[in-house]
Structure 1
Amino acid sequence: MARGVYVTGIDRGDGRQVVELGVMELLTRQVDRVGVFRPLVHDRPDRMFELLRARYRLTQDPDTVYGLDYGTASALQAERGTDELVSRLVESFHRVARDYDVVLVLGTDFAATQLPDELALNARLANECGASVMAVVGGKGQGAESVRAEARNAFRAYEALGCDVMGLVVNRVAADDRDAIAEGLRAQVPAPCYVLPDHPALAAPTVAQVTRALGGTVLLGDDSGLARDALGFVFGGAMLPNLLSALTPGCMVITPGDRADLVVGALAAHSASTPSIAGLVLTMGERPAGSILKLAERLAPGTPVISVAEGSFPTAARLFALEGKLNAATPRKAETALGLFERYVDTAGLVERLSVARGGRVTPMMFEHDLLEQARSLRRRVVLPEGTEERVLRAADVLLRRDVCDLTLLGDPDAIRKKAADLGADLGDAQLIDPAASELRQGFAERYAQLRAHRGATVELAYDVVADVNYFGTLMVDAGLADGMVSGSVHSTAATIRPAFEIIKSTGAARGEKEGDGAARPPAAIVSSVFFMCLADKVLVYGDCAVNPDPDAEQLADIAVQASATAARFGVEPRVAMLSYSTGTSGSGADVDKVREATRLVRASHPELLIEGPIQYDAAVEPSVAATKLPDSEVAGRATVLIFPDLNTGNNTYKAVQRSAGAVAVGPVLQGLRKPVNDLSRGALVQDIVNTVAITAIQAQAAQTAQTPPPAQAATAAQEETSA
């Protein structure tokens, strides 16, 4: 029988969707079969379930999610009593529970339900379903003492009704009161209490939601603009200088449609980021002339301009009653909500209280969740040289909302801010640096000239070289001003990794270097790469598919050892398959002999590793084939780390699997460098960039807890010279 987690409250307006989303995030990190049950629903489809289904790729039949609609439930309770209502709902819950490892139950919403004693109903449902309760109390607009009293009463109410209260979340409190409320509750409530401050972006409607609420018509704007949060409203009726002084970041400007001066002035301010606005609402059904709209479109491409029929006063009345909602169409709000939850909730402690055993396999979703959690655990700074690229800015928005790491973006700061504003991306506290104008440029030129003196580099030549964003970013990493770098969404692999070979160098000399846990870190004879291949039901590690064209046996063995360490660092248990066109002793020839020798070298140097080779791909991953070809192997049919004999084979295989099997390929992740620099595919999606930045931050955690390495070995120097 599945274990259930019942998220409920005591009144409406508590913002519990943040908690529901956060709990779902934790559950999907632990198991790959999570069901959802909504006992009572107002309308179908339910917006929260649709958000969970889209975000977590749920395959649950929507018809099984819902118990009863509120009207039917109210009538059933009035006619046949609470026992019959509870019986019907619990029966529906068990139909879901039998198919899933754990079920997230979304409690009633206390909104115009006509159900007497709704809190008691939620408590009874939780008990009858065998679910632990996560209680949520809203604190918006209340003082600290009032919030503490309400939270204590909520805990006592659910505890008195026999509930297993696994935690209490106090949500939407004033930021200045958060610490005082948390401290008071720790002393007064015998259960974990988590206090979340109110976040303006969560309550702010998007421009699209504003448009729907007002029945507006979109005159200008694209999907990115419509997804912006409207963080405030500024009503324009005065002269332009007065309007400009009233503008605030992320506001929507409300002005009569015949005020072309205010329309153009507000959009010009957005274009100059002084400040960036969310968009404009033009009232009274008036629309600017076509020439004005063309100018507006050129001034601020993508920025929404909305026309509404009503005047300013009724428009204002609608707007001030409007509040943003989490749904499948607001992914940025979901990222903000998860960032808030993960920042203020002890997620590790909560997972322990959930008592949900981790599944035996690592699914792609678990892998992605673990990346972000591990990166967040020891914050690092990653530099992104491609600061004006749209996908990079969108990824930066996600990373900052989720509080994963600190970021530095390279490029003209004004251009970066303008592009981010046009996309509705929030760069928060990200550091923006223009390499060409930075005061660091001279020092970096001197450092680069020193490193490359043997190749004839002078400071004058280096001054031009280090203005390149990839060289500048790599030198930031070298100097400790950033902990890692990710590039390649618009640059070639060579342009990304050449500076790393020239400046960062490899760990090849670092014999005896220690990991943070005290384990010896394998020295790298060469720099190589792996891809994390996220298939439908597992994550595999492929290497080397990006760097070394034709490694010899010693280099191939080194790639296998490094790939095993990389896999283990990211939660994939290494079982290594050394791939060839022959399995076992069935074939011979130079190519097979190279793989056989590489396998022997790994076994001799790392007897603890599970490794098989030479072995064909099908025998490595398919148990039925392995049972025929290598029945006694501990790796065959179960391999997780697949090492290809050469770049031609590896690169083509990863792309074939990516395209034909619909796998997500994260990488290439470089291994063996002294400090992490990672490349992106030029076709990388936003989520690919997010994952790669998280991987880089985790690599930086390991690199910075290691001891200072000794001078580079000849093998590293030889590879550097070849690459350079």
Structure 2
Amino acid sequence: MTRSVYVTGTGRSDGRQVVELGVMELLTRQVDRVGVFRPLVHDNGPDRLYDLLRSRYRLTQPPASAAGMSYEEAATLQAESGTDELISRLVDRFHEVARDYEAVLVLGTDFANTGLPAELALNARLANEFGASVIPVVAVRDQSPEAVVAEVRNAHHAYASLGADLIAMIANRVRDPEAAEAVRGLGERLPEPVFVLPEEPALAAPTVAQVRDAMDADVLLGDEAGLARDVRNLVFGGAHLPAFLPALTEGCLVITPGDRADLLIGALAAHSAGSPALAGVLLTLDERPGEQPLALAARLAPGTPVLAVPGGSIPTAGELLSLEGKLTAATPRKAEIALGLFETHVDTAQLTQRLSVVRSERVTPMMFEHELVERSRLARRHIVLPEGAEERVLRAAEVLLRRNICDLTLLGDPTAVRKRAADLGIGLELLDDSAGSTGTGVGAAPPVGTRATARIVDPHESPLRERFAEVYAQLRAHKGVTYELAHDVVADVSYFGTLMVQEGLADGMVSGAAHSTAATVRPAFEIIKTRPEASIVSSVFFMCLADRVLVYGDCAVVPDPDAEQLADIAIQSATTAARFGVEPRIAMLSYSTGTSGSGADVDKVRRATELVRERRPDLLTEGPIQYDAAVEPSVAATKLPESEVAGQATVLIFPDLNTGNNTYKAVQRSAGAVAVGPVLQGLRKPVNDLSRGALVQDIVNTVAITAVQAQGDPVPAGSTT
């Protein structure tokens, strides 16, 4: 039976999109097929939240099926035929969606110029008729603690008295800490949990792109990254430059008449100097600077938006003061902020249990990615990212911090890193590390409920440089490395980051977005070295297919392993698979199956299979075996009918790098699989390499994997991701 969850409210502007996004996140962690249904919609444009959910969660649901009918249709139908007829038609449309999905998220009415009487009661009745559990969201932005408690209690009574199956109450946009504490106290007296979400300024702040759209402004300068910056406040430009510059604040939008080229150039020069970083400049009165000022502005602050509108400064500002940020498919950063807010302040484990969704047997790529994030958050670790000024790394860092996935150290010049983040519109709170301390260190997970933090360390200026030089000189003394030479070597970000891991100042390292594999891996070989039980360092990819996760090894490190090395790769890969919830069933791949072939290549695989069975008799291992016999039950039934692995292998070991690398790329591109990796294995402490073409999500996934590796013991074999 389909499980449905109805998120509703008590009035307009309750910010419930944060809750709707958070609930969708929880549902997609549990089941493969999640549908969305909004009973009533406005006719004045696209459904921005649905577009965001469809984009973010890769929904295949036809957009037309997600809406019941328009408010105008509903009001007419209710007036002509009564409420029962309206409810009946909406129920029919809901069930058309529900029959195709394992769970449905229902988005309640928005209480904004709907023309419907008794809207709260309508939501309650629809939820009852849909058989949906209800999560009411109550906005209590600027009220006293007593008023906030009363609002939440009244909303609870209203929905409960109408027979709604309440599973949680959420007070949203709470600014007063005393009010938040009072609501939590109320939760102890209600049968359902009550969660409190504070006001988040970064969510309320519109982007420059949203300002452009709202004001129908012309874009004179700026790129997409600049238009994605948040507008945190407004600064009017009218005074002379010396009086104007001190008024600039971080993330402000400067509003000034278009004939004040001096203020335009002054503001952008201040941004270029990094004090402070602006959101952009809005020119009014339909005045445009000349060609030379605009050219100079473009050189001073490349990418920074300069907009122009015909209206005056005061009327323009009046319109902007009421403009709030929106969660849309075009603002993925705000979606991460919203999810971080939800996951920090809602007990997601408790709410997931109350949702009572039966977990799918299939493991989709999204479910695997969700599980990575969730496991990394449970025991937060500290990861060092050597490429601190790289755009994709900074964007990934914002996601990692917002989602509370791990604490971070970014390596690089603090001024350059901060300016790059500001130019990209990335909201990172970066702490300098002047004392050389870098946070929690190995094995010391921060207290539950604390926020993840990030620091910037400059290897050239850090007090750690001398300490690391001594360590590296001792480690490499047999190679003739002196302290003086080591002092130069450890200033390299890859060596500095690796030494942070070695010395317990970080739990793991991820690099490679702008460096070669050799630059990332060589320091790990020299400093961290292999585990006692591992003869080599190898790698795996997690291949997330439509309905399962397979582990491929080795596709990135060892070019032509001999039988002993191949056996080591298989054992390491099985351990990695188990750590991430994939029950290891090992297929030692070859161009022949069983005893059907011979030759040096087949003999190598046969010998490696024997070694795995000798060293780890507890592991299910088959080889030599062809790929189709390893993964396809019908082929396995013909070629190896008695095998416990054939047809259901989960760990596939390739005989050489040429075969493995080409196969993983073929499956990735031709079958649409999500390839997560390479994940290095065999090192004493986790260091992982990125492809230089890695996307932001690839970096997030790799950091999450590294954090889970740093947590230690694998999960029990046979558990699911």
Tell me by how many angstroms 1:570 deviates. Answer: 1.6
Alpha carbons 1:230, 1:250 under 8 Å: kept: yes
Tell me by how many angstroms 1:198 deviates. Answer: 0.5
Partner of residue 317, structure 1: 318
Tell me by how many angstroms 1:179 deviates. Answer: 4.4
Return the letter of the residue paired with 1:464: D
Return the letter of the residue paired with 1:503: I
Counterpart of 1:529 (choices 536, 539, 543) is 539
Partner of residue 562, structure 1: 572
Distance in 2 separating the partners of 1:10 and 1:633: 60
Matched ranges for 1:96-175 at <5 A: 96-174=97-175
Alpha carbons 2:579, 2:713 under 8 Å: kept: no
Alpha carbons 1:367, 1:571 under 8 Å: kept: no
Alpha carbons 1:178, 1:196 under 8 Å: kept: no
Alpha carbons 2:575, 2:714 under 8 Å: kept: no
Residues 598-651 of structure 1 show CA distances to partners (whole Å, capped at 9, x for unaligned) of: 222222333332222111112112233222222232322222211111122112
Residues 430-439 or 201-210, more deviating: 430-439
Tell me by how many angstroms 1:177 deviates. Answer: 3.5
Residues 490-519 of structure 1 show CA distances to partners (whole Å, capped at 9, x for unaligned) of: 1111110110011111222xxxxxxxxxxx
Query: Is 1:7 aligned with 2:13?
Result: no
Counterpart of 1:636 (choices 631, 637, 646) is 646
Tell me by how many angstroms 1:704 deviates. Answer: 12
Alpha carbons 2:631, 2:647 under 8 Å: kept: yes
Partner of residue 70, structure 1: 71
Tell me by how many angstroms 1:655 deviates. Answer: 2.1
Distance in 1 separating the partners of 2:213 and 2:603: 67
Partner of residue 388, structure 2: 387
Tell me by how many angstroms 1:193 deviates. Answer: 1.0
Partner of residue 194, structure 2: 193
Partner of residue 700, structure 2: 690
Tell me by how many angstroms 1:537 deviates. Answer: 3.1
The two structures, once aligned, show a CA RMSD in angstroms of 1.5
Query: Is 1:180 aligned with 2:193?
Result: no
Partner of residue 514, structure 2: 490
Partner of residue 490, structure 2: 466
Structure 1 residues without counterparts, runs of 5 or longer:
509-522, 706-724
Alpha carbons 2:145, 2:176 under 8 Å: kept: no
Distance in 2 separating the partners of 1:534 and 1:294: 48
Distance in 2 separating the partners of 1:158 and 1:605: 62
Alpha carbons 1:611, 1:635 under 8 Å: kept: yes
Distance in 1 separating the partners of 2:640 and 2:369: 33
Counterpart of 1:678 (choices 682, 688, 695) is 688
Residues 141-150 or 290-299, more deviating: 141-150
Query: Is 1:437 aligned with 2:461?
Result: yes
Return the letter of the residue paired with 2:423: D
Residues 154-173 of structure 1 show CA distances to partners (whole Å, capped at 9, x for unaligned) of: 11111111111011111110
Say if 1:680 and 1:704 are closer, same or farther in 2 by CA, change over 3 A. same
Alpha carbons 2:184, 2:195 under 8 Å: kept: no
Residues 252-295 of structure 1 show CA distances to partners (whole Å, capped at 9, x for unaligned) of: 11111111121111111111221111111001011111111111
Residues 34-84 of structure 1 show CA distances to partners (whole Å, capped at 9, x for unaligned) of: 011100000353111111000000000111111110001011111111111
Distance in 2 separating the partners of 1:177 and 1:267: 41
For the residue of structure 2 that corresponds to 1:171, the secondary structure is: strand
Alpha carbons 2:544, 2:675 under 8 Å: kept: yes
Partner of residue 667, structure 1: 677
Say if 1:267 and 1:680 are closer, same or farther in 2 by CA, change over 3 A. same
Tell me by how many angstroms 1:182 deviates. Answer: 4.1
Residues 441-497 of structure 1 show CA distances to partners (whole Å, capped at 9, x for unaligned) of: 111000000111111111001001001110000011111111111001111111101
Alpha carbons 1:178, 1:195 under 8 Å: kept: no
Return the letter of the residue paired with 1:156: H
Query: Is 1:452 aligned with 2:498?
Result: no
Partner of residue 300, structure 2: 299
Alpha carbons 1:674, 1:703 under 8 Å: kept: no
For the residue of structure 2 that corresponds to 1:702, the secondary structure is: coil
Distance in 2 separating the partners of 1:608 and 1:179: 52
Say if 1:704 and 1:40 are closer, same or farther in 2 by CA, change over 3 A. closer
Return the letter of the residue paired with 2:584: P
Partner of residue 500, structure 2: 476
For the residue of structure 2 that corresponds to 1:188, the secondary structure is: coil
Tell me by how many angstroms 1:91 deviates. Answer: 0.7
Alpha carbons 2:579, 2:714 under 8 Å: kept: no
Counterpart of 1:504 (choices 528, 537, 557) is 528
Return the letter of the residue paired with 1:527: V
Tell me by how many angstroms 1:175 deviates. Answer: 5.4
Tell me by how many angstroms 1:344 deviates. Answer: 0.7
Alpha carbons 2:149, 2:179 under 8 Å: kept: no
Alpha carbons 1:148, 1:184 under 8 Å: kept: no
For the residue of structure 2 that corresponds to 1:325, the secondary structure is: coil
TM-score by length of 2: 0.94
Tell me by how many angstroms 1:178 deviates. Answer: 5.8
Tell me by how many angstroms 1:124 deviates. Answer: 0.7
Return the letter of the residue paired with 2:39: P
Return the letter of the residue paired with 2:40: L
For the residue of structure 2 that corresponds to 1:568, the secondary structure is: helix
Return the letter of the residue paired with 1:29: R
Tell me by how many angstroms 1:660 deviates. Answer: 2.7
Tell me by how many angstroms 1:240 deviates. Answer: 1.9
Distance in 2 separating the partners of 1:582 and 1:456: 48
Return the letter of the residue paired with 1:13: S
Residues 375-422 of structure 1 show CA distances to partners (whole Å, capped at 9, x for unaligned) of: 111111111111111111111121122221111111111111111111
Partner of residue 553, structure 2: 543
Distance in 2 separating the partners of 1:704 and 1:105: 37
Return the letter of the residue paired with 1:539: V
Alpha carbons 1:2, 1:98 under 8 Å: kept: yes
Partner of residue 231, structure 2: 230
For the residue of structure 2 that corresponds to 1:84, the secondary structure is: helix
Distance in 2 separating the partners of 1:260 and 1:232: 21
Distance in 2 separating the partners of 1:500 and 1:184: 50
Query: Is 1:366 aligned with 2:367?
Result: yes
Partner of residue 29, structure 1: 29
Partner of residue 283, structure 2: 282
Identity of aligned residues (%): 73
Structure 2 residues without counterparts, runs of 5 or longer:
431-453, 716-721
Residues 537-591 of structure 1 show CA distances to partners (whole Å, capped at 9, x for unaligned) of: 3322111111222222222222112111211222222222111111111112222
Distance in 2 separating the partners of 1:249 and 1:625: 63
Say if 1:659 and 1:80 are closer, same or farther in 2 by CA, change over 3 A. same
Distance in 2 separating the partners of 1:170 and 1:467: 49
Alpha carbons 1:675, 1:703 under 8 Å: kept: no
Tell me by how many angstroms 1:369 deviates. Answer: 0.7
Alpha carbons 1:134, 1:166 under 8 Å: kept: yes
For the residue of structure 1 that corresponds to 2:505, the secondary structure is: coil
Partner of residue 449, structure 2: none
Tell me by how many angstroms 1:241 deviates. Answer: 2.7
